Amino acid sequence: MDEIILGLAISALLVYLLRLVSGYSMYKRSIHQMIYSGYLEYLMKRKRIRKLSVSSYFEELFGKNRILYQFYKGANQKQPLPYVILVLPSGIYCLKICSDKGNVTGSTSKKLVQEMNDFVIKLQNKITKIKPEIYRIAVFPDQCSLNTGDNKVGMAVIKRSQLRQVLIDIHKSSDKGLEPWEIDAVWDMLAKDSLMLEERKSNWNVKAET
pLDDT tens digits, one per residue of 113-170 = 888 889 999 999 999 999 899 999 999 998 888 876 555 556 888 999 999 999 999 9
Instruction: Report how far residue 133's alpha carbon sits from residue 63's, in angstroms, rounded to the nearest whole number.
Output: 17
Q: Angle 90-108-69 (CA atoms, 0-180°, nearest 5)?
A: 40
Could you state, in order of their start, the residue ranges of all structural domains in the chain? 47-209
Per-residue confidence (pLDDT) for residue 87, from 0 to 100: 97
Instruction: Report how far residue 83's alpha carbon sits from residue 138's, in angstroms, rounded to the nearest whole number.
Output: 9
CA nearest neighbour of 65 among 48, 88, 32, 42:
88
Q: How many CA atoms lie within 13 A of 190 on its CB side?
A: 32
Instruction: Flag residues of the chain having pLDDT under 70.
Output: 1-24, 102, 105-109, 148-154, 202-210
Instruction: Report how far residue 112's alpha carbon sits from residue 154's, in angstroms, rounded to the nearest whole number.
Output: 10
Instruction: Report how far residue 37's alpha carbon sits from residue 55's, in angstroms, rounded to the nearest whole number.
Output: 7
